[in-house]
Structure 1
Amino acid sequence: MRGLPRRLVAELLYCVQQRTASGVRTAGASLRAICDRLRVLRCETLDDLVDPEAAGLKSHNVSLVTTMRRTLHRLSTTPEEEARRDVWDLAIFGFGGTADFTEIHQDALRQATRIWAADDLPRRRGKGAGGRLQRQIDAMADLSKSLRLQREDSGQNIALLDRRDIVAFCNRLAFKTENGQLSAHQRLDTARTVRRILNRWRTLGLTVPGEILEGLRADFVMGREDMPDDPEDTEAGKDLPDEVMQQLCDNLNLLEEMSTTEVRVCTELLIDTGRRPDEVCRLPLDCLERDPDGSPVLLYDNHKAFRLGRRLPIAKVTAAVITAQQERVRRRFPDTPASELKLLPSPVANPYGTKPISGIWAQHRSWARALPDFLVPIEVLEEGEPVIKLLPFDKGKVFPYAYRHSFAQRHADQNVKPEVLKDLMDHRQLQTSQAYYRISQDRWREAIDRVAVMQFDRHGNRVWRRVQGLLDSEHVRREIGEVATAYGLCREPTNVAAGGHSCPLRFRCLGCEHFHTDVTYLPDLEAYHADLLRSREKLMSAFEADDWARAEAMPSQEEIRRVRRLINRVKADLDDLTEEEQAQIQQAVAVVRRGRSVMLGMPRVGQPLPDVRPRRTT
């Protein structure tokens, strides 16, 4: 650095200091070559080196200069100043990546989108926040392009924008979807994003007099009716077949040879635990604990829902994988405190083991493509006869997040209760977990056929003896002609039309001719019977209450008697079946109850979970 201005020397030293602090090495030869060019060009600051390539620097030195200039830019600017630019360095806002607004051609719309982004970004979290922001900006760029193509003034006069421009934009999205330029999911996400941003502009006050969007008409907005249909089956069905999972597990050694041990361990943990890839990549070294009974538990952070310190029961074999990786990390970084180490440390710019791997998507994709074709048995028709053939499975469906779907599907196939699976998936809503697994139509239909013969009316009499001729209509009737109650089904037209919220008898189901139940509701009936007995004993105990209130709240003896008789009749019919028939009925009951959306209470995990970990060789 001899002979360079003091300001330039300070800039270079600061950049090297920041690179060293982040664990990146700076080659002395590269730094010397850059200093030589700066000295020859008589630069006062690093910004004076406008075009490093034209200055004669090699490609790797050009990259180093670009990184240094970005570091200096982050030092000298603030989020407020960065928000006024058309290309943002998101590191200034605490995120990774960049945000590019240049594809929004209308000046007013581009400024308004920047204001919206600056307001929305602080509420984001996680490593993917920058990518999500850019996708939202791209949605507004689609709207901008539609205006530029449709309007003579290219949409620059915002006072002229109206409902016709929204219709043209929606038609453009539909056209691109029909021609394969957009998927149905991308179309829906784009429409929802544009609708949300247009509405947010108004709540931010950007359309009032004196602001950027002054004069924007009220009909330049997307309504609910402009949203395309939500594609069906958005999540369920992304699990991998057992044959594919077995082949992947048998070739984990190849994954380690093609990448690193950390990538293999990460993949194993994804398969066994069903966590999100980001959650596994960022596991701390001390992520393994034991329950009082000695069972291993994985400690992780749910960054997506901002739920920290989560616990997941895992198999002992999975715990052994974690233990072996912990030993490798301690040998590699003996001087770093264990509290600062990561279970899967990055192999790049990580001298102390405190940085986790950034992801395994590229390595995993290369590994999956290198494997032989995944052959899965598929039933096809040849000359009208069903034939099982081994057909290749689409390798594009083999990606890290698919292991989370497979984890949910394996537990669902083992009859794990939906509320327990919700806890295992770490979801707040049961509906979210139900989107991760599916019950095939064949299994669902077969289950309904089995339990349909075990239907009873409110008196405990069989109501479906001629089953064979009614099977097809029963599947339709279950969808449109009845509504679920807490312990049976109701066919009263008014209540069905109201979705189960307009019972004329105030939900006294056992006294209504429209009520019927089947064997799948037996646990609910038993729980209801026990609740009636508890309520009666509690009301008969000594506490202050008026006689009329006590009498109104007291369960009637007739209701208790009918519930008990109905339970006894269902159990008696079950006892008349053979052991094989009882096993088939129990299996069908499990399938139907797993797909039932009405869940009461929030049970906890009270029994050992089945070991559904895919088998693989050591």
Structure 2
Amino acid sequence: MSGNLAAVLEIAEKSSRDHDLWVAWLRTQLVEDWRPGEWDPDTLLFRGDVNNPQTAAMRCSTEGCEIVTKSRGRCTACAKEFRASGLSEEEFNATVRPAANRRYLEPGTCTVERDGLGCQREFHSRGLCRAHSLQWIKATRAASKRKPFQGTLEEWMRSVAVPHDALAECRVAGCSLEQVTLHEGLCRVHDRRWKDLRKSLDYVPVLDRWVEHETPYMAVHHFSLAPLSEVGRLEMLYALQQRDLRHQKIEPSAIRAVVKGLEGVECLLVAGPGVFDTSNFSGAANVVALVKEVAWSIQQGHDRFLGIEPMDKLVWDMKAVIYASGRTEKRAPGTRTALVDFNTVTQPWLREAVMEWARSTRPANTRFRRHVAACVVASTVLARLPGGGMDPTSVRFAEMTLVADAFRKQTKRDGDLQTSKHRADSLAAFYTILDFGRSAGLLNELHGTFARHSQHRIIREDSNEDEIGKAIPESVIRQLDAHLDHFGDEFPYRGYPPEDISAMLRAIYQVLRDTGRRPREVLSLKRDCLEFDGNDCLLIWNNYKGKRMRRRLPISRETAEHIQAWAKHREGLVTPSRSRSYLFPAVSEASEFAHMSTQYLSRAMRLWVTSIDEIHSEGTGRDGRPVPFDRDKIYPYAFRHSYAQRHADAEVPIDVLKDLMDHRSTDTTARYYKVSLKRKQEAVKKMRLHVVDRHGNPAPMASNKAYELRSVAVPFGGCTEPSNVKAGGHACPIRFQCAGCGFYRPDPSYLAAIEDQIRDLKADKETALAMGTDEYVIRNFQDQIDSFKKVAKNMHEQIDQLPEDEREELMESVKVLRRSRAARGRMLPLTVIKRGESSA
């Protein structure tokens, strides 16, 4: 025997031995008595239980319909009938019943019965088995030797038909249909498949081998592993059982598609990645996802077979790590498959410290990633030094100073500096790794000066928890309200019907908009979150950020009605058991939270906002048309900014707004007022240059102080009459006949009020004419109309002559000053948006 041949035979023998060991290991890992009542290991058939929430199989929601579907709702036939009926949901459910012969679970039996004995054979047509159906046809057919039966089918069944014993079942394992061929022992379905196969081949196939890998007659909630090879069956069953242990649903229809694509593969482990190429399978997203998961489960199983744990590698598969840590309840399965590459920490001593810290402490996913990222920052700095920081004895105080400086300069993806809190937390995370490494004896050689020091601290600045200035304008909120009926359209929320998803998201939006709570605070509301005290409505919520629970917020009756409407709708939903007490339920039992997560809400809002054709900002462009609003500024948290800014603009007392926002300090609340004041000052700075007199001639104010202190706001402009200014606008000597007053000082922010007054004066004039009033009264009305028209005309001409950019800035100032005046002297309702107010 040559050396090359011996080497080849040795490799073949080792491969065979490893294969046998792999198969033996798989057998030891399979769960005994898995899914009793659903999985039959003898027939390799899975019959999904429609009452098992972990199986994607449910009966049609139409009462009396036996058809099984993959998700909640009506089957295809009932849905088609419902659309054609023109009835409402309630009317259809109350009046329509599916036809009696509609069946989908198992084949029925013949209805012939005599002397208490029924026919045991399979239903064929007209309620009869095949034999009785043929007998009935012969009995009613005209023949030369026998007179045709003259009665009805029911009479024939009672007087003539004789019940038959059941025929043997099809020889295909798990097939519940009866045999129709004595020689092959196949049912009508498999007999047809066998004949078609024989016609398509140029040789005679072996029946026994074909039967061994043939799938039985199945419904939508069934699947069979028979088509796979012996090893493939074990591998697929292992992958499905692992999926079940991760609390993921078993979806028979998707599994059938995957099994079909893997037919003929001897061993899935060694078949190569080409076998799991998703282009070889159905294009449905759930099938593609299942293909990837089967491949992943088998590879993870092989690692375990070899004794390799997920945290032994330099590249961690976080999905495997999370499940290996026993924290499946912290995240919806299958949603996070990211890899963490520890090779990015180039210094072996630092890499081993952070890896051992993660193995020992088993931190939550967010904390784990923060600490790894901090080590990457430090590793990058050390790698630039001579020697690359590979020797732990060579890094000392100077090197730690460089590392601390790198944390101080940390930036976001867009290049902006990270918040001081983020930078301080990152540096603290790096110190945590060093402290752990020293206490665990992993960093004994690390020099003592490479440690935390007072000079290396990052001071946390007074955090601006609400990112002042990111409020969504009220005009934009009104546009969103107009499209609210489409919030949730086509958004998938596993297992919930589309109309329920939309209703839930609309309710969430209304609470976000009207209460100014943070997204998590809204999503975690309990079903009993409302409290009534006389005519007052209170929302009970939890401030998780401030660790202050069961807070009470006054809300409007309208907002309370929105919450009550959704709570009533929610009563009819089938939700995860963990979500029983929450107003907005989670997507599944395995979700990170027992209520809807902020990630789902953010995705749903992004999909909705993107679907709206036009969203305009408050300004206009060079062509005079509204400027599109930046849709990236519309996200759940932004409604908290809008709530606070709305109240600050309305001059709600700062201590009241502080309590409404549940801020610890008025310093944070005051920033909203600073934004309002700054905007008003900028508006006054522009507006004072466009003041006119009662004739419409320019009469600009010399300064902001002159605009605000030497004049007082009256209904149609500013007034500089000293006694009226001193009295705050309540002592006009000529009873607000502004059009004829030399102290009258209007500006463009009063144009809308002036034009309204012109219309009112015209209406008053017509009324006076109809009453036969004296001419001097009519003349007074007309003179005021002419004067106001002249003022409005001159202001419009002056505005039109401005460059486009200045005109846009002026119109923005108009809106700011109008809102400021509208809010002066009154308290804004706590949660009601002024939907009818113009933004112009």
Q: Common fold, TM-score beyond 0.5?
A: yes
| Aligned mate of 1:112, from 350, 353, 375 | 353
> Which residue does 2:647 correspond to in 1?
411
Look at both structures and tell me which one has the larger radius of gyration over its CA atoms: 2
Which residue matches 1:247?
479
Give the letter aligned to residue 324 of structure 1.
A
1:162 match: 396
Q: Residues of 1 paired with 2:33 and 2:294: CA distance?
A: 10
Higher mean alpha-carbon deviation, 80-89 vs 180-189, is at 80-89
**Which residue pairs with 2:580 in the alignment?**
340
SS in 2 for 1:360: helix
**Contact kept? 1:24, 1:350, Cα under 8 Å:** no
2:172 is the counterpart of 1:141: no
Give the Å deviation of 1:316: 1.2
**Deviation string, structure 1 residues 240-299 (Cα, Å, up to 9, x no partner):** 112211111211122243433122222221111112212222333x23423321422223
Cα distance per residue 1:412-466 (max 9 Å; x no partner)? 22333333323322333444444566433546759999xxxxxxxxxxxxxxxxx
The question of whether the paired residues in 2 share the 8 Å contact of 1:272 and 1:614 is answered with no
Once residues 630 and 550 of structure 2 are traced to their aligned partners in structure 1, the CA distance between those partners, rounded to angstroms, is: 37
1:406: how far off?
0.8
Q: Matches of residues 430-469 of structure 1 in structure 2 within 5 Å?
A: 430-434=666-670, 438-442=674-678
Task: Note the 1:383-402 alignment, pairs <5 A.
Answer: 390-402=626-638
1:214 to 2:432 alignment: no
Q: Which residue of 1 aligns with 2:833?
A: 613
1:331 to 572, 577, 589: 572
Q: Structure 1's 361 and 214: CA in aligned 2 closer, same or farther, altered over 3 A?
A: same
- Structure 2 distance, partners of 1:379, 1:222, is 54
- 1:207–1:214 CA contact under 8 A, matched in 2: no
Percent identity, aligned pairs only, is: 22
Shift of 1:578: 1.0
Distance across 1 between alignment mates of 2:619 and 2:370: 37
Task: Name 2:186's counterpart in structure 1.
Answer: none
Report if aligned partners of 2:410, 2:423 keep a CA contact under 8 Å in 1: no
Alignment partner, residue 270 of structure 1: 512
Amino acid at match of 1:577: K
| Alpha carbons 1:274, 1:405 under 8 Å: kept | yes
Aligned to 1:422: 658
CA contact (8 A) 2:523 2:584 kept: yes
What is the CA distance between 1:166 and its match in structure 2?
4.8
User: Relative to 1, partners in 2 of residues 1:61 and 1:140: Cα closer, same or farther, differing over 3 Å?
Assistant: same
Gap runs ≥5 in structure 2: 1-23, 40-47, 58-69, 71-219, 243-266, 282-287, 492-500, 686-701, 707-722, 732-816, 821-826
Residue equivalent to 2:726 = 577
CA distance in structure 2 between the partners assigned to 1:315 and 1:170 by the alignment: 50
Alignment of 1:182-581 (within 5 A): 182-186=414-418, 188=420, 191-201=423-433, 204=435, 206-207=437-438, 210-212=441-443, 214-219=445-450, 221=452, 227=458, 235-259=467-491, 260-261=501-502, 262-284=504-526, 286-333=527-574, 340-346=580-586, 356=596, 359-378=600-619, 390-434=626-670, 438-442=674-678, 577-580=726-729
1:192-218 Cα shifts (integer Å, max 9, x gaps): 23421343345x363479442532341
Cα displacement (A) at 1:144: 1.8
String of CA shifts for 1:225-248, please: whole Å, max 9, x gaps.
675996997811011112211111
CA distance in 2 between partners of 1:67 and 1:437 (Å): 55
Question: Normalising by structure 1, what TM-score?
Answer: 0.57
For the pair 1:25 / 2:259, whether they are aligned, the reply is no
Write the deviation string for residues 555-604 of structure 1: whole angstroms up to 9, x where unpaired: xxxxxxxxxxxxxxxxxxx999314389xxxxx9xx9xxxxxxxxxxxxx
SS in 1 for 2:600: coil
**Would the aligned equivalents of 1:295 and 1:313 in 2 still touch at CA under 8 Å?**
yes
The offset of 1:375, in angstroms, is: 3.0
Once residues 347 and 665 of structure 2 are traced to their aligned partners in structure 1, the CA distance between those partners, rounded to angstroms, is 41
Instruction: Confirm or deny: 8 A CA contact 1:377 1:391 kept in the other structure.
Output: yes
Q: Does the Cα contact within 8 Å between 2:542 and 2:550 map onto a contact in 1?
A: yes
Structure 1 residue 167: Cα displacement: 5.8
Distance 1:93 1:39, change over 3 A: closer
Q: Say if 2:269 and 2:299, in contact at 8 Å, map to a contact too.
A: no
- Aligned amino acid, residue 615 of structure 1: R
Instruction: Out of 387-396 and 264-273, give the one that drifted further.
Output: 387-396
Unpaired stretches in structure 1, ≥5 consecutive residues: 123-128, 450-467, 473-573, 583-587, 592-606
SS of the equivalent of 2:56 reads coil
After TM superposition, give the deviation of residue 24 of structure 1 in Å.
Answer: 6.1
**Cα distance change of structure 1 residues 142 and 394 upon mapping to structure 2, 3 Å threshold:** same
Query: Which residue of structure 2 lines up, in the alignment, with residue 36 of structure 1?
Result: 228
CA–CA separation in structure 1 for the residues paired with 2:730 and 2:322: 63
Question: 2:579, 2:595 within 8 Å by CA — same for their partners in 1?
Answer: no
Q: CA deviation at 1:368?
A: 1.7
Cα contact 2:648–2:676 (8 A) shared by 1: no
Note closer, same or farther for the CA distance 1:187–1:424 as it changes in structure 2 (3 Å cut). closer
Does the C-alpha gap of structure 1 residues 187 and 433 become closer, same or farther in structure 2, counting only changes over 3 Å?
A: closer
Aligned to 2:539, the other structure's residue is in SS state strand
SS of 1:240's equivalent in the other structure is coil
Larger relative CO (CA 8 A, sep 6+): 1 or 2?
Answer: 1
For residue 31 of structure 1, report the CA deviation from its aligned partner.
Answer: 6.7
Conserved in 1, the CA contact under 8 Å of 2:371 and 2:433?
A: no
